[in-house]
Amino acid sequence: MLLEVRDLHVEFRTRDGVAKAVNGVTYSVDEGETLAVLGESGSGKSVTAQAVMGILDTPPGKITAGEILFKGQDLLKFKEEERRKVRGAQMAMIFQDALSSLNPVLSVGAQLGEMFTVHRGASRKEAKAKAIELMDRVRIPGAASRVGDYPHQFSGGMRQRIMIAMALALEPALIIADEPTTALDVTVQAQVMDLLAELQRELHMGLILITHDLGVVADVADRIAVMYAGRIVESAPVHDIYKAPAHPYTKGLLESIPRLDQKGRELYAIKGLPPNLMHIPPGCAFNPRCPMAQDVCRTDVPPLYEVTEAGTDRVSACHFWRECLNG
Ligand SMILES: Nc1ncnc2c1ncn2[C@@H]1O[C@H](COP(=O)(O)OP(=O)(O)O)[C@@H](O)[C@H]1O
Ligand SMILES: [Mg+2]
């Protein structure tokens, strides 16, 4: 297994109290596999990713328990310097907002080239050639003539391609893309997502694709992990989950995707709001919003049950996963 996150806990200690952002996340990604991590805003998707990358805001953030195994080694036991070597060369992250992630006063060629001068000891001439090659690879038209341009001279979609190029530069084994297309127009979104999926297959990388949009993951993901209040509530191969979700929260998310064949029909939205992470409700965190909740849901935290029907290699943190599957 390329990456295994085991029972990860992350808290933020603030003046107002302790926000329990990640409460026992377990997920894994293999080489060549795409895992989509899904969930409403605030569910702990980015914080988990930051912990994996080693870029968590500490303080106020603190990892209080868990393991992050990368190629079998627990990254949480690494010294910062060893960690830095892993970052970039072995795992890289793509963020939502390219404009604030790229350096505005350096040409994109210089920024891409730096990956090779700093990490690979390339000469400036070699680095420039590599930068152009990467820009070609992410299909930036006229790469050779644009290598000296600055980030603001590119469109949003092209900038996002440049960020993908930065992430790919050292051919890492794992890429984490955190809402990589959320800031883009719908048509550009699809192009950037297709490009990312294609490069992932070509380079046989592990990809963690964080998104709040179930619509985009159907074509690109192998597995889906659904997060709620800092926990994985369901995880399954993508087709199984679409066919029959085993958690009421996943079901709610699926029912709120706009569908072309149901134009005009009112969109279902999950009622209520995600919990305050300083006061997560007892029992199942989703119980106040759940149409299927019973007494036990208000008192007992559901473990991750193995879902033994409707597919293999699936888990659900719902006491009533069977009823959910069949309902
Ligand atoms: N820098 C921070 N300081 C304090 N709290 C934070 C910080 N970053 C994240 N959090 C807390 O962690 C929660 C989960 O955040 P995040 O992982 O970014 O959610 P998302 O699923 O939308 O990516 C937030 O709602 C917030 O309570
Ligand atoms: Mg996020």
Q: Which residue from 266, 263, 283 is spatially nearest to 275, judged by alpha carbons?
A: 283
* Nearest ligand 1 atom, CA 19: 27
pLDDT computed for residue 274 by the predictor: 93
pLDDT computed for residue 327 by the predictor: 81
For ligand 1, pick from 14, 38, 46 the residue to mutate: most ligand atoms within 8 Å of CB. Answer: 46
- pTM score: 0.94
pLDDT computed for residue 182 by the predictor: 86
Does the CB atom of residue 88 touch ligand 1 within 6 A?
Answer: no
Alpha carbon of 50 to ligand 1 centroid (Å): 10
Q: What is the pLDDT tens value at each position of the chain, 327 positions in all?
A: 999 999 999 999 999 999 999 999 999 999 999 999 999 999 999 999 999 999 999 999 999 999 999 999 999 999 999 999 999 899 999 998 888 889 999 999 999 999 999 989 999 999 999 999 999 999 999 999 999 999 999 999 999 999 999 999 999 999 999 999 888 888 888 888 999 999 999 999 999 999 877 777 888 999 999 999 999 999 999 999 999 999 999 999 988 766 655 555 555 678 899 999 999 999 999 999 999 999 999 999 999 999 988 778 999 999 999 999 988
pLDDT computed for residue 292 by the predictor: 95
Does the CB atom of residue 283 touch ligand 1 within 6 A?
Answer: no
Q: Which long-range contacts (CB under 8 A, 24 or more apart) does 232-235 make?
A: 232/25, 232/26, 232/27, 232/304, 232/315, 232/317, 233/286, 233/316, 233/317, 233/318, 234/314, 234/315, 234/316, 234/317, 234/318, 235/27, 235/304, 235/314, 235/315
Does the CB atom of residue 130 touch ligand 1 within 6 A?
Answer: no
pLDDT computed for residue 309 by the predictor: 85
Does the CB atom of residue 42 touch ligand 1 within 6 A?
Answer: yes
pLDDT computed for residue 265 by the predictor: 53
Does the CB atom of residue 323 touch ligand 1 within 6 A?
Answer: no
pLDDT computed for residue 99 by the predictor: 81
Alpha carbon of 80 to ligand 2 centroid (Å): 24
**Which ligand sits closest to the CA of 178?**
2
pLDDT computed for residue 290 by the predictor: 96
* Nearest ligand 1 atom, CA 49: 17
What are the residues facing 62 on neighbouring strands?
Answer: 11
Q: Give the three-state DSSP class for 89.
A: helix
- Name the DSSP letter for residue 151: G
pLDDT computed for residue 261 by the predictor: 57
Does the CB atom of residue 226 touch ligand 1 within 6 A?
Answer: no
Q: Which residues contact 313 (CB under 8 A, 6 or more apart)?
A: 236, 237
